[in-house]
Amino acid sequence: MTNFWNDFKKFAVKGNAVDLAIGVIIGAAFGAIVTSIVDTIITPLLSLIVPNSSFEELTVEVGTAVFEYGRLIAAIIDFFIIAMVLFFIVRFILKLRKKEDETQPAKSPEDPADIKLLKEIRDELKKN
C-alpha cells in the first residue's frame, strides 16, 4: 500500500499532472463563459434574425419509433456557434498578446562564450 501511495504522490505532484488539472479547471470556467455568451447574446440575436428557430421539436415517426432529429440539428448549430465564439475570443486574445509583445523591447540573443571570446580577441587585435 505504501508503494501505491508513493507512486500516487509522485504522479499527483508532478508538474504535468498539476498543469493538466489547472487546465481542466480553467477550461471548464472558460466553457461556462462561452456558453453564457452563446445563451445570453448570440442565441437571442439569432432568434431576432430567424424567428421560430426552435429545431428541438422536429421529429419523424417511423412505426413505433420516434426519431428526434431536431435535437441533433440544434446541437450541431450550437456547436458551430460556440466554435465561432471561441474563435473570436482566441483571436482577440492573440491580438492582445501581439500588442503586448510589440510594446516590450526585443532582447537580442546573448552570444555564446566562444563567440564572446573571439570578439574580444578581434577587438584587441584592432587596437594593435
pLDDT value at residue 54? 67
| pLDDT number for residue 75 | 82
pTM across the whole model: 0.48
pLDDT of residue 51: 67
pLDDT digits (tens, 9 = 90+) for 104-114: 666 777 888 88
Measured between alpha carbons, how far is 86 from 101 in angstroms, rounded to an integer? Answer: 22
pLDDT at residue 53, rounded to an integer: 61
> What CA–CA distances, in Å, run from 70 to 41, 54, 67, 104?
22, 8, 9, 51
Q: Residue ranges per domain, the chain? A: 1-52, 54-128
pLDDT digits (tens, 9 = 90+) for 51-100: 666 677 788 899 989 898 888 887 887 788 878 878 888 898 888 888 77
